[in-house]
Structure formats: C-alpha cells, structure tokens
Amino acid sequence: MPNERHTIRMPAWHAYVLGLLGGGVLLALLLMVFAAFTRPDTSLQPKAYSSEELATAEKARDVSFDPDTPQILHVDVPDEAYAQVQSHLAALSAGKASAEKTVSMIAAGDLPAWFPHNEAPVLAELVAEGHLPPVHERVGPEPIVMRGVDGIGVYGGTWLRIGTSPNDVGVITYRLSGANLVRYSPLGYPIKLHLARRIEKQDEGRVWLVTLRRGIRWSDGHSLDADNIMYWWEHEVLDKAVGGKIPNWMMPGGKPGRVEKVDQYTVRFTFGVPDGLFMDHLAMYSNGMMQPAHYLRNYHPTLGDPAFLKQRLAAHGLKSPRSLYHRIRDFRNPDCPRLWPWVYRKHKNVPPQVFVRNPYYFVVDEQGDQLPYIDRVQFEVQDNKMLSLSAANGLVSMQTRHMRFENYTELMSRREQSGTRILHWYPACRSVYAINPNLNRRVSPDEPETKWKAALLLDKRFRQALSLAIDRAIIIEAEYHNLVEPAQVSPGPQSPFHSEKLHKAFTEFDPARANGLLDAVWADLNGNPAQRDSEGFRVYPDGTRMVFYLDYCAFTGVGPAQFVVDDWADVGVRVIPRERARTLFYREKAANNFDFNVWSSESDYLPLVCPRYFLSFNGESFYAGGWGRWYALGGYYGAEQATESKLSIPVPKDHPMYESLTAYEEALQAVELDDQVRLFQRALDNTAENLWSINISTAPPQLVVVKKGFRNVPENALYGVIFHTPANAGIESYFFEDPQDSPGAIRETRESILRAVPMPGEEGDGGSVASATGERPPTEPRSKVVGRLIRFAVLGIVVALILMVSVRHPFIARRLVIMGPTLLIISVCAFTIIQLPPGDFLTTRIMQLQEAGDNAEAEKQQLEELKQMFYFEDPTIQRYFRWMGVYWFRSFDRADKGLLQGNMGLSMETLKSVNDMVGDRVLLTFLISLGTILFTWAVAIPIGIYSAVRQHSISDYALTAIGFLGMCIPPFLLALILMTIANVSGLFSPDYATQPEWTWGKVLDLLKHIWIPIAVMGVGGTAGMIRVMRANLLDELRKPYVTTARAKGVRPMKLLFKYPVRMALNPFISGIGGLFPQLISGGTIVAMVLALPTVGPMMLAALFSQDMNLAGSLLMVLSLLGVFGTLVSDLLLLWLDPRIRLQGGTR
C-alpha cells in the first residue's frame, strides 16, 4: 500500500547502549560544569606585597622578646592611696559623702582616678532597682587596678570561644579566671600581686606571710578572708573524707608544710626548708586554695548535716557524700560562689554554655570602671579537627587554645574573609613533637625481644645516634615553613634558664656518626654490628628480627613521623609509626609498655616550675614514667607509698637521672633566681648528654585568632598551662570596639545575675543555699525527655496490644507477642556485647589514679566508691538485673530504678544522670533526622517514579549515574565541601550565635545553616531509595494486573498511583523500623564535622572513654526504638497492603 508507513524498530540492546552512552555523556558534562565552577582561577595572580608589608609580617612571626623590659598590666598602688579610698568609703557609708562629691574629688585629684565609680549598664540598672549594692561597696577598698594594652574599653558584648569537649569548657576555672593570689605577667616575670595585697618572705624563704585584699567578695556577695584558705587546708587537703592529699608543691624537702591563720586576712605558710618557688606555685595553684566555705561546708561529708546530705544524695542519685561534694564544687554548678570575672548561672547539659559577668568582681581600670568590660563568655563545643575551620569562618572572638600551627595557612588565607587577625605568641611549650624513648621499658618473659628493647632504649648512645640520624632541615621546611630551628627540648633563648649546650645537643645531621654509635652499642651487647636482615635492617644482638614502634595519638597526630622513621631506616633501625586511641595510648604509657611515643612538651620556659622534660618529675615524664611516679610519690625522700605503687620504679642512685633530681631539689631551695639557674644547670647538662627525649625543632609561634574590633589583646605573650594563658594577658580588660548585644542577650545577662538556674538535683527549696543577689524561685525538675520516651514507648505497646486484640488482628497480635522476648534477647545481647572488649572503665580509672600519684588510702577510697556505685564486684547477672531495673519491682526504691522504669542510670565518667545528658540533645537530633528523612522521601519517591516510567531514557541514565555518585561520596567529605563553598559552620552565624531569643532573622539564619546537615545526611539515603523505588515500581508495572488495567482503558496516571506506586512503597514503609533509631542517633561522623550537639557523638565518646553505662543504655534505647518502629511499619503495611491483611487472617 503506497500510503503505508514503514517504521524501523531499533533493537532493545541498541536502545540500551545508546541510553547508556547518553547518560555517560550527560554525567561527564555535569562533572565538567561542576569542575568549571569549583576549579581555582589560575588567571588570578598572587597578591603583591610591599616591602613594608613583608617586613611587618616577618616581625609579627618573630616572637622573641627582651626579658629585661617586660609588659606589665597590673598597676602598682601605694598604701597611701588605698588608705585614702578606705577613708572615703567610710564617709560614704556614714552619709558624710555622696556620689557627686566622689566625682568632684576624683576630678580634683583628692581621690585616685581608679576609685570604683563606673560599672556596666546592666549592673547600674540592678543597682538603681535595689537588687545590688553600689559598685564601690561591691569592689571594696583595695581593688586590683589593671590597664589594657589599647587603653580604656567599652562595656558589652559576648566573647565567643570553642571547646573540644564539655569538660574542656572547664578552662573557665583557671585560663579564663586568673583568680590567683598572684598572677604571671604576659611574658611571665615579674609575678604580680593579685588577690593578695602583700606577701612577705621570712626566715630565708621558710616562712611566707600572705595578706589578702580587704573587701574582696565572692560572686554571691560574701567576703573573702583567711577562713577561705584555712577551709581549703583543713577540710579539703587534710580531710581524707573528700580524698584530701597534700600537694607536692607544699612538701619542699619531702616534708609537709603548715598553713596557719594569723588574723582575718593573713595566713602563714611554714616549711622545713626554704621554698624558692613559692611565688610561682601561688601563680599556678592558688586559684584552688580559696574555697567558698560558707557554701561548701553544707555539703562537706564531715561538716554537713547528715539529714541534709542524705536528702541531697537521693536527689542527685549518688551513693557517696564525697561524690556529692565534688559534684557541688564542679564548675557547672551555678549555685557555687566564684571569684571569676564571668560566672556560670544557668545550667545546661548541651552547648552553648554561657558565663555572665560577676557583679562583685574586684578589678577596676585606671579610670575606676569595674572590669570586665565584656558581659558574657559563650562556649560552643566542636571536634578538635573542625575547630580551626570554625575559627577561619569567624566563629570565635579571641582564642589561642587548640589553634594548631598545621592550620596556619588556612587561618592566614581566610582572615580577611572571616574578619579576623592572627597574632603570634611565644610558646612556653618548647616542642610540639617530642619523641620519647622509653627508658623504663617493661620486660616481659613472654616477649623475649623486650629484653633487647629495654637495653637499647636505656643506652644513651642509642638515643644519641637516633637524634643524629634525623635530617631536621627537610622536616622544618616541609612541616614548619622554616619558621623554626633545629633544637632539643630546652627552655629557649628568652628563658633565664637557657642552655645553648642542651639547645643544640646532637641536632646536626650526621648519619656516619650515628652508625658508629650504633655499632658500638651492638658490640657492647655482644652482637654483630654488621649483621642485617633480608630487608637491610639491623637485628637484635641475638640475631632475631628487630622492630620498634613509634606510638602517637590524635593529640599530636602523625606529624613528621614518616620523615623520622625513614631517616632511622637509613641507619638500619626499623621503627613503625602506629596510631593509638588516646585511652590505649595512656594505658600503655602508665604500664611502661611502649617503645617510643610522641607528645608535646609543657611550659619548659620555666624548667623549675615544669621540669618533666629535664628529669623524671612525674608520670607525665613520658620517657621515664616509672621513675617519674616514684619521684612524685616521694621516693627521693624515702616515702613508703613510692615503693608500694606497682607503677613506680626507683631511680638508681648511680644513674645520671638521680643526679638531675638532686640538682632539682637543691635549686628548689634557692630563693634567688640566679642561684636557681646555677644549681639547675647540672640537670640541663645531664639532659644534653643523655637525651631523655629526641626533639625535632623549636616550637612554632602559638597562633591567636582575634576578631577585628576585639581589643586589648597583647601582641605577644607566653602561652603555657602554668601561665594560665590567656589569663596572664589581661582577659578582664578585653573589649569590643562596637559591642552588639541583642535585647535577649541583655535580658538573659540580667536574669542570670539575679537568679541561678540550678543543676539537676539542686532544684526547689531544699537544695542549695540562696544567692545573695536574689531569691531563687522554686523550679520544677527538668523533664526527663529520654525517660519519658521509653515510658511512652512501653505504654504505646501496651495500648496497641489492647486495641489490636479488641479489633481482632491476629497479624499484629503475633507481632506484639514476640516483642517482649525480642527486647529481652536484645537487652541480654547489648549488655553482653558492652562487656566483651578487653578492659573496662574501672581498670582504666585504677591506672589513672595510680599514675596521678594519689596516696594509697585516697586511691583505695575512690575505687571503693566506684565499685559500690556501679556494682563492679557483683555477679554479672545481678548487674544486668540492676541495669534493667528488675529489683525495683521488689523494693519500689528510687535507687533501684533502671531501663524498665525509664532511668538510664549515671554516667561512669561524669557521675551525671544519663537521662539529663541525653535529654537536651534529643530534640535537635530528632529535628535534623526527621528533616533528613522527609528530604529523602520527598526527593527519592518522585525521581524513582520518573526513572521507572522513563526506563532506558537518557534522563533515566543520568539520574542513575547521579544516584550512584551520591552513594559514593562520603558524607563527611560532602559536608566539608559544602561548608567551604557556603562558608558556614555550626547552626548559627556569629551574629546570631550569641542571641538567646528567637527572631525571624535567627530563624532565617538557622535555615541558612541547617540545610547542610539535612542535605549531607540525606544524599546517600536518597540515592539508595531512588534505586529501590525504581526497581520496585518496574516490577509492579510488569505484573499482569497492570496490563489488564491498561487494556480496560484505565487512565495511565490513575493506574500508576492507585496500584503500582502504592505497592512499590512497601520497602519505604518497611524501612521505618530502621528510621526510628536514626531519629535519635543521627549521623555521628557528620554531626562531628558540622559541630552539631546530637546524640551520636555522645555515644561515640562514651565508647572511647569506656563509659559502658552510657553507651549500653543508649544502645538499648536505640534497639527499643527499632523494635517499636518495626511495629509501626507493620501497622502501616497492614493498612497499605491488603495482601497482608488477607494472609494475616484479618476479618
């Protein structure tokens, strides 16, 4: 027929191939477009800097300073000026003077300009309303006067900081308080009087009189006096009921000192020998010497009322008065009075944690403004590896802690974008990568090679050879951009203890000399220096294969380890770098069961104060932990506990280390600095000769990220733990040029000053002592979110059982019947699994206590309390019953509640309620996870339908390729990419992170940030769900009933959505059982990358710390949610799929 159209049908395999090629081409085009948008612009030339700018940058990196011209922030005030102020305060109190007269007297010079008469606006309002006394009464007649490097500041603003864990926020107690009797200056010396008004040395340094400033008050308004120091000495240090132990710094010459009250403000310290470091020790430790006796004695195990203590123990869920006392002293107790510039007044279990200004703070500037200038300090908590990215994004106001040099390029390159400037401070820690050969290597009969390892590591020539074998120049260029120089761990050129001999000892690169030393060592051990194994490495003297391990953990990272072991391989020594979990790293260190490990040094700038890298000072002398524990326990002076400890090893008297300890003891008793330097030189010379550790270079500058407009931060300061940095750099004087406080932030500051939100267990009227700044209103206990969740789940099961039975659904009835045994089996499995890993929390804690050098009695008491609290000595079956709460059905005692009653018990690590710790994280986790699930379904279902309907089309292949790509991209990598592209981190930008109230702007800011975690966690699941939906729908579309419906003329869209799509949804519904646990756990790794306070990272941290009470309870809760989710999915399938109703016997 001429009009007949002839069509040519393409074979199916041709269509398949063409579709595949088309999809590949489309994918390639997409990748090219993505690459075009993300590739670096090579046309851009590096910014050209002028010679002046380059010189300025070089000068900024040069952190050297002249110790003879130190920067001083404390203003010396003569006694006459204080007497003048005291006289005027008496006149004000008697009504003989007024505020107007005060101002006129200051203007006329009749009163010092620093007379306290100005304060923050939020405090001025409270004074006007009668909630607070005037500022001159709160500050007192003898305030500390300080100046800022940039001058007088402006009140207001929130100082944003980031910690790496909830406990890391505890730096507020020393690094961000500086509440010591004396304080180091920014560059160390001179040590300046702080809370102490006067310190007098008597009897050649054997007696020290410390006089406190008059009028200093705690944050609740109570006065500070000598009784606060005596309480610390008599009822904490000397009282074994709270685990008291005399600190080593109070035992010069091996004999305990004495503390006596002279008068209301004066205390006498008496020692058997001169104490040359008394001032340094006060600068380091005296923040813990002054305790609020008026508050703490109520909770003291021997001073407190027994009935009150019993009530508090029940409220906190604790068994030991000692545990209660230490919880009350914790920095997270808003009711405990403090001497800090900023105090904690609103308890929260999750970040951000906020500290508000102390209305009774006792420091003023030179114009009489009460410090601090800043209203609030706010801490977020992030994973350590993500902190630098947040800093580069401008999420910190000022921070030096955790700012690592490895992030230098990122921080410097993004400082304009983030609105920050990068300062360089002098590192008092003179090494960031010290290699510690184990001189106390444990020898095990079961491991014959340990005998040879111990002999080699103890030989100084072996250590000298390894140091000479390292090519430090290459490492310095690759790792530190030539900003450092080869050096051993030494005090450094700016230190008064500088030793050039130690500084450069065995740092030259000399492989020939190294081989010569090694050959001599092998010859002395009766080995063959020329013998090598098949790989060219030396062998042990007995001819067996030689292998050493270089252990490191996340604290230092791998660093230049590969450079080092490659250099050592060139001289025939096989060393393998090995990363260890920090818990395992410390366990092996405490047991002396390692070859080499890596750590940073600490505050070596003042080696008498922190000598651990120059002699075996304590367990933190990594290279000789056994000797260090012996010394710390008093072994040098013959203390019995030093020989009783299983982890301590006496130092042989003929060893150079013993000579170093002797030199150290002699230097400690020298009162003058010149004598200390002369006497300690022997210890430094011994270190230079024996190389207790092997170092690469001097430490690079300590980076300080400072937001532009954040002022009074010194250009240079010593960074080290003994200096409590940045407290030594005048934190009270920091200020914002243009503080931005939202009305909610101001309101929250005011409310927090007026009244505290107590910690769990201290709610209501029966708990703690009322604050002097305001009555605490009665509060209800925090809702136990997780406990309620468990109870509601159990209740839901019971209700569902009754309903299903009543409407006669055998299918569901059978599911309900097997839920009980299923949960029982899961609970047994979960409890068993968490007990399987070697070691436990108690074992690790025992080792920590022994390593810390506690006295045997205190150590035994702590262990007994742990055993009693967590029933470690009970049979396993009884511990399981207690964990589940079985005994409660017999006793109905609150202490016997367990998982069946919705009580997850106490965390072994923090001794806090797991319910409280988890509860506040649940809501955010739920919202993010729910958003992820809805995003996944909303994207996967329509795309899966489209791909099935358009099978083998180019768009189908393109979507398939994109889906596979989505499944292949690691979520954490995608998170990093999106964070970098979008320039966001966390949940809020800095402008809204400090704003407690919700506004439309904050909501929009949240939406700008929260899409990243939802998209990241949803991409992988979306890609998988697309494939599932496509495959199931294709199966349904090929079934006979679809063909029949088409033949009968059913409209395609109606047919598609009424039957095939409905049936294809079954896998989605079946997957609900797995989604329920995800709603609570969230994406752990993604949450860590994005710094989200969700449940997942908490569970991971519990596993790392071996807190199996927390980890096991969370695991059981997730299992319960999984089982309950399966029940929900069965109910939905029963409604969705009629085949199930028919097969299940439903009538």
86-138: pLDDT as tens digits: 998 888 888 887 888 888 888 888 899 999 999 999 999 999 999 999 999 99
What tens digit of pLDDT does each residue of 931-956 get? 777 777 788 888 888 888 888 788 87
**Residue 430 backbone phi and psi in degrees, to 5:** -85, 5
Residue pair 406/705 in contact by the 8 Å Cβ criterion: no
| pLDDT at position 297 | 96
Among residues 1113, 502, 564, 516, which one has the least CA distance to residue 787?
1113
User: DSSP letter string over 922-967?
Assistant: HHHHHHHHHHHHHHHHHHHHHHHHHHHHTTTSHHHHHHHHHHHHHH
Length of the chain: 1147
Distance CA 372, CA 354 (A): 15
* C-alpha to C-alpha distance for 350 and 360, rounded to whole angstroms: 27
Report the DSSP pairing between strands 596-599 and 363-364: unpaired
Binned at pLDDT 50, 70 and 90, residue 345 comes out as very high
Rounded Cα distance, 1000 and 327, in Å:
39
732 and 805 together in one domain = no
Please answer whether residues 112 and 120 qualify as being in contact, where contact means their C-beta atoms are separated by less than 8 angstroms: no
pLDDT score of 909: 73
Q: 399 and 285, same structural domain?
A: yes
- 566 within some domain: yes
Residues 269 and 238 in one domain: yes
CA atoms within 13 A on the CB side of 439: 30
C-alpha–C-alpha distance, residues 960 and 1026, integer Å: 8
Half-sphere exposure of 824 (CA within 13 A, CB side): 7
Task: Please answer whether residues 1060 and 1037 qualify as being in contact, where contact means their C-beta atoms are separated by less than 8 angstroms.
Answer: yes
Based on the domain organization, do 535 and 468 belong to the same domain? Answer: yes
Which neighbouring-strand residues pair with 263?
Answer: 266
Among the candidates 867, 901, 935, a domain finishes at 901
Alpha carbon 769 to chain centroid, angstroms: 31
- Asked if residue 614 is part of any domain, the answer here is yes
Residue 766 lies in a domain: no
CB count, 10 Å around CB of 234? Answer: 15
| CA 176/CA 160 separation, integer angstroms | 12
Question: What confidence tens digit (pLDDT) does each residue in 620-632 have?
Answer: 999 999 999 999 9
Q: How far apart (Å, rounded) are the C-alpha atoms in residues 470 and 484?
A: 16
Pairing of strands 735-736, 710-711: antiparallel
The packing angle between helices 656-668 and 673-690, to 10°, is: 170
* Res 548: pLDDT: 97
Mean pLDDT on 606-612: 95
CA 123 – CA 139 distance, rounded (Å): 13
Instruction: Judge if 422 and 452 occupy the same domain.
Output: no
Under a CB-based contact definition with an 8 Å cutoff, are residues 951 and 1065 in contact?
no
pLDDT band of residue 437 (cuts 50, 70, 90) is very high
Within a domain: 470 = yes
Tokens of 985: 């981190």
d(CA 929, CA 918): 16
CA 647, 651, 655, 660 torsion: positive or negative? positive
User: Per the structure, how many domains does the chain have?
Assistant: 4
User: What is residue 887's predicted lDDT score, i.e. its pLDDT?
Assistant: 83
Q: pLDDT at position 221, please?
A: 95
Q: What is the mean pLDDT of residues 196-217?
A: 96
* Lowest model confidence (mean pLDDT) among 731-735, 956-960, 1038-1042: 956-960
687 and 710 belong to one structural domain:
no
Mean pLDDT of 776-786: 45
How many CB atoms within 10 Å of residue 106? 18
Domain assignment present for residue 105? The answer is: no
Q: Which of 527-531, 581-585, 975-979, 1066-1070 has the highest mean pLDDT?
A: 527-531
Q: What is the pLDDT of residue 597?
A: 96
Q: 680 and 538 in one domain?
A: yes
Q: Which long-range contacts (CB under 8 A, 24 or more apart) does 862-870 make?
A: 862/243, 865/319, 865/320, 865/322, 865/323, 866/842, 866/908, 867/842, 868/319, 868/320, 869/318, 869/319, 869/320, 869/323, 869/906, 869/911, 870/842, 870/906, 870/908, 870/1109
pLDDT score of 807: 57
- Is 779 domain-assigned? no
- C-alpha 183/C-alpha 175 separation (Å) is 11
Of the segments 555-559, 1014-1018, 1106-1110, which one has the largest average pLDDT value?
Answer: 555-559
| Calpha distance 658→650 (Å, rounded) | 10
Query: Which comes out higher in pLDDT, residue 707 or 1119?
Result: 707
| SS3 category, 273 | coil
Confidence band, pLDDT 50/70/90 cuts, at residue 732? very high
Token pair 């050039």: residue:
500
Give the pLDDT score at 768.
35
Tell me if 1039 is assigned to some domain.
yes
Cα 450 vs. chain centroid, distance in angstroms?
Answer: 35
Average pLDDT, the chain: 85
| Per-residue pLDDT tens over the stretch 1024-1054 | 778 788 888 888 888 888 888 888 888 888 8
Do 847 and 745 share a structural domain?
no
Question: Would the pLDDT of 747 be above 60?
Answer: yes
Task: Tell me which DSSP letter residue 381 carries.
Answer: E
296 against 530, higher pLDDT: 296
Q: Which pLDDT score is estimated for 1103?
A: 74
Q: How confident is the model at residue 769 (pLDDT cuts 50, 70, 90)?
A: very low
Read off the CATH number of the domain in which 965 is found.
1.10.3720.10
Question: Helix or strand or coil: residue 174?
Answer: coil
Same-domain pairing of 412 and 452:
no
Instruction: Name the band, by pLDDT with cuts 50, 70 and 90, for residue 877.
Output: confident
- Percentage of the chain surpassing pLDDT 90? 48
pLDDT score for 6: 47
Which runs of E-coded beta strand occur in 572-730?
575-579, 596-599, 694-695, 702-707, 710-711, 718-719
Give the strand order in the sheet containing 353-357: 158-163, 376-381, 353-357, 342-344
The reported pLDDT for the residue numbered 773 is 42
Highest mean pLDDT among 63-67, 228-232, 347-351: 228-232
Are 1118 and 1081 in contact by the 8 Å Cβ rule? The answer is yes
Same domain, 357 and 494: no
Contact 679, 452 (CB under 8 A): no
Contact 329, 336 (CB under 8 A): yes
d(CA 466, CA 341): 49
**Residue 473: CATH number of its domain:** 3.10.105.10
CA-to-CA distance for 1024 and 930, rounded, in angstroms?
18
Res. 1101: pLDDT tops 90 = no
Enclosing domain of residue 447: 434-695
What tokens appear for 131 in the block? 């909630």
Model pLDDT, residue 659: 97
Answer yes or no: are the C-beta atoms of 491 and 602 closer than 8 Å: no
Share of the chain above pLDDT 70, in %: 87
pLDDT at 718 over 90: yes
Residue with tokens 């279902």: 941
Beta bridge partners, 486, equal: 697
Same domain, residue pair 387 and 291: yes
* Res. 853: pLDDT tops 50: no
CB atoms within 10 A of CB 708: 13
Rounded CA gap, 194 and 177, in Å?
12
pLDDT beyond 90 at 299: yes
Which residue type is seen at 1012? I
Q: Coil, strand, or helix at residue 909?
A: coil
- Looking at residue 286, its pLDDT comes to 93
Helix, coil or strand: residue 851 = helix
The pLDDT of residue 144 is above 90: yes
CA 591 to chain centre: 25
- The pLDDT, as a whole number, for residue 791 is 57
Cβ–Cβ < 8 Å for 660, 623: no
Considering the domain architecture, whether residues 179 and 279 belong to the same structural domain is answered as yes
Cα–Cα distance between 130 and 1018 in angstroms, integer?
Answer: 55
* 695, 717, 742 - which closes a domain: 695
Q: Count the helix, strand and coil residues of the chain and give each as a percent rounded to the nearest 5.
A: 50, 10, 40
Mean pLDDT confidence for 801-805: 55
Report how far apart, in Å, the C-alpha atoms of 548 and of each of 441, 460, 543, 573, 585 are. Answer: 12, 17, 15, 8, 16
Task: Tell me whether residue 929 is in a domain.
Answer: yes
Contacts of 762 (CB under 8 A, 6+ apart): 315, 333, 335, 768
